[in-house]
Each structure stands twice: as structure tokens, then as C-alpha cells.
Amino acid sequence: MQFEAETQGTPTLIDPFGRQIDYVRVSVTDRCDFRCFYCMAENMHFLPKKDILSLEELDRLCSAFVDQGVRRLRLTGGEPLVRKGILTLISSLSRHLDSGALDELTLTTNGSQLKRMAPELAAMGVKRINLSLDSLREDRFHSITRWGKFGSVMEGIEAALAAGIKLKLNMVALKGVNDDEFDDMIRFCHARGMDLTIIETMPLGEIDHDRLDLYLPLDQVKQQLAQSWTLSPSRHKTGGPATYMQIAETGGRIGFITPLTHNFCESCNRVRITCTGTLYMCLGQEDAVDLRAPLRASESNDLLVQEIRGAIARKPLGHDFVIDRENNRPSIGRHMSVTGG
Ligand code: SAM
Ligand code: SF4
């Protein structure tokens, strides 16, 4: 195939724009124990179990990507840690860390199960976790997550840090909801050696609220922060889409993910897979390839690898998110919990 390349005998996935795809995010479930109001409607309809990949299928799929040169795997959802048997899957995938085929096996989580699971995750080689927390005020946390338990998340944070896992907190900037908490969040994170990333809301999926009312461009957040902190650009990179700034007063870092104001597509190195095995080559585009059918069609991975390589050869240059102002509809109908954050 035209875009194939080989490094030292290991296949690599190169897209039509010469970008090496070595990072895969896999949603292991569409279910969640929270109902964050900007992410899900309160009465979500979840997928029937038969449509969801089994743990064995998820393992096979992830391993096929590793065989194709993927070096980083992030499990997400929904809430990945509420998937039954998740630790079995992570334990099994950690063989790729042991063999050196994988550089990183990581998670994005709401932290509700971490108190219980952090020691085992650390023992399985999970070194870094992204934890989503949009407020440090208990009452506000409840109105954002609807079903979340603030105390459990706080205990989860402490447990992960105690287990030696590096934490990065992700906070979605929500106008009129948590936009007075950036300073508190910086102090909270940096006092515990955690990075903080602020994320712009993305127009993904129908929710019970008006997305336009919530949208806060991060340029405004930066201006707000510059009044309290001395910010300087940082060259730090994590392989994700965030750009970082250093804060002189705390010595810590703050990241910004700005899908709407600044397109971060040109350096995109990743693809996403839903819990039903649909591969999205871009978070902000509808084009997708079904990997469940080739996975279930035969025990051999030949067909699966053929589909994966064909999909990467179709990866678009980027997305162009907009919130449709006239009709107030999201530009992409599927929820973040389906594609995986
Ligand atoms: N449940 C896990 C969690 O909350 O970390 C993992 C899945 S969640 C969909 C992943 C990330 O997506 C979270 O940080 C969440 O805040 C973010 N997210 C969800 N919907 C979003 C939206 N419409 N715009 C921006 N970020 C969103
Ligand atoms: Fe659940 Fe994460 Fe979505 Fe909140 S952001 S509802 S925790 S999937």
C-alpha cells in the first residue's frame, strides 16, 4: 500500500499527510456512573450488551494496533473503570508494556473507582492517569455531574497519588458554571504535583442544555489567568493536543485544549475506537470504519489489519468544529462518551 512504512521490521501506520498514527484511544464502555450535564443527557439510552466488544475482543483489537506500531493506548469511555472485568483487560494488555512494544497504557477517568483500583493499576504498569474534575466545590460538583460523589473522587485522587501514579486533572471550562474556579484549581493541582488542563467545550451530542451558553473561549481564560499568575509558554508535550504554559508562582504547568479557537489537527497522531469497535479517524468527522465485523468474522487478524490500514489511509487532515448558532445543534451528533474522550 502507498502509505505503508516499516521501521526495523515493525509495521507503522502512516496517514495520507505523513503523520504517524501511534496513539489509540479506546472506549471500553458507553456507560457511566456520572451524568455530567455537558456530556450526557440524564436519561441516556445505552447500547445493548451484544453490540459492545467483549473484553477478549477489546484485547485482540488493541493488540492488533500494537502489532501495527501503536505505542500508546488510552482506555476511556463512558467511565472505563465501571466496565466489568476492566482490571483483567488492563492486566492482559500490560504484557505489551513488559515486551516493550507499548510505551504507555493509560486511562481517562472520573476517579470514582480509583480509591479501590489505584494500587492494582499501578502494579499493572499504569503510570499516568487523566482525571476529569470540573469543580472543587461539592455542591457545584454535584450539579455538574448530577450523580457523582465528590468524596469518592477526592479519595480516588489521594489513592492514585499514594500509589505513585502521576495525575493530570482535566477541567472543562463552562461559562457561568465554573469560570471562577481556575485559580483554586491551579492551587489544588500544583500543591499536589499534578498538571492541570483546561478544555473548551466541544459541540458533541444532544444534551439537555444550550451549548452556546456554556462555551467559553480559552483565550479569555488565559487573559483572566494572566491577572493572577505569571504565565510563560512551555515546550512541554505529552503527545496529546494540549499546549502548555508554566506558572512562575507555583512552578507547575497548565495545559489548554482548544478545539474550537485553535485547530490542533496538523500534529494529530491518534485515532479513536468506540466500545462497539467503530474506528473514527477524527473526533470531529463522521467518517468511520467498522472493525467489529472483521474481528468477529474470523479468528485470524488478517481482515482486521487490512481494515485498520485502509482506514488510516483515509484519515482526514482535520476537523472544523462549529456550534450551529441558528439551530443551536451540535456539529457532531454523537456524544463524547460514545467516541471516547
Ligand atoms: N468518564 C471519563 C472522564 O470523565 O474522564 C472518561 C470519558 S469522558 C467522555 C472524557 C473527557 O471528555 C472528560 O474530561 C470530559 O470532561 C470530556 N468531555 C465530555 N464531553 C465533552 C464536551 N462536549 N466537550 C469537551 N469535553 C467533553
Ligand atoms: Fe461520565 Fe466522563 Fe461523560 Fe462525565 S464526562 S458523564 S464522567 S463519561
At what angle are helices 150-162 and 138-145 packed, to 10 degrees?
Answer: 100
**Spacing, Cα 4 to ligand 1 middle (Å):** 33
Element holding 56 (H helix, E strand): helix 55-67
**Spacing, Cα 16 to ligand 1 middle (Å):** 29
Pocket test for ligand 2, best of 28, 32, 113 (most atoms within 8 A of CB): 32
**Spacing, Cα 208 to ligand 2 middle (Å):** 14
Whole-angstrom CA distances from 277 to 47, 74, 131, 173, 293 are 12, 15, 24, 30, 8
Report the C-alpha gap between 186 and 240 in whole angstroms: 20
79 lines ligand 2 (CB under 6 A): yes
**Spacing, Cα 139 to ligand 2 middle (Å):** 17
Mind listing the domains of the chain with CATH numbers? 23-167+266-339 (3.20.20.70)
**Spacing, Cα 207 to ligand 2 middle (Å):** 12
C-alpha cell of residue 74: 488510552
Q: Where are the beta strands (DSSP E) in 35-178?
A: 72-76, 104-109, 128-132, 166-173
**Spacing, Cα 39 to ligand 1 middle (Å):** 6
Whole-angstrom CA distances from 252 to 194, 229, 307 are 8, 11, 42
Pocket test for ligand 2, best of 28, 110, 133 (most atoms within 8 A of CB): 110
Report the C-alpha gap between 256 and 218 in whole angstroms: 7
Give the ligand 1 atom nearest the CA of 203: 23
335 lines ligand 2 (CB under 6 A): no
For residue 282, report the phi and psi dihedrals to the nearest 5 degrees: -150, 135
**Spacing, Cα 341 to ligand 1 middle (Å):** 5
Contacts of 185 (CB under 8 A, 6+ apart): 133, 136, 169, 171, 196
- Pairing between β-strand 166-173 and β-strand 128-132 as defined by DSSP bridges: parallel
110 lines ligand 2 (CB under 6 A): yes
C-alpha cell of residue 271: 485515532
pTM tops 0.75, yes or no: yes
Contact present, 223 and 179 (Cβ < 8 Å): no
135 lines ligand 1 (CB under 6 A): no
pLDDT in the model for residue 111: 98
Identify the residue whose C-alpha is closest to ligand 1 atom 8: 341
185 lines ligand 1 (CB under 6 A): no
Report the C-alpha gap between 194 and 215 in whole angstroms: 25
Whole-angstrom CA distances from 222 to 103, 112, 144, 229, 284 are 32, 30, 23, 10, 24
Q: pLDDT by residue for the chain (341 residues), tens digit each?
A: 434 444 557 789 999 999 999 999 999 999 999 999 999 988 889 999 999 999 999 999 999 999 999 999 999 999 999 999 999 999 999 999 999 999 999 999 999 999 999 999 999 999 999 999 999 999 999 999 999 999 999 999 999 999 999 999 999 999 999 999 999 999 999 999 999 999 988 766 666 777 678 889 899 999 999 999 999 999 887 767 788 999 999 999 999 988 766 556 777 888 999 999 999 988 777 889 999 999 999 999 999 999 999 999 999 888 665 554 445 455 555 666 655 55
Alpha helix stretches (DSSP H) within 125-243: 138-145, 150-162, 182-191, 211-214, 218-226
Q: What ligand has the least distance to the C-alpha of 144?
A: 2
Whole-angstrom CA distances from 321 to 39, 86, 318 are 16, 32, 10
pLDDT in the model for residue 336: 62
Report the C-alpha gap between 250 and 139 in whole angstroms: 27
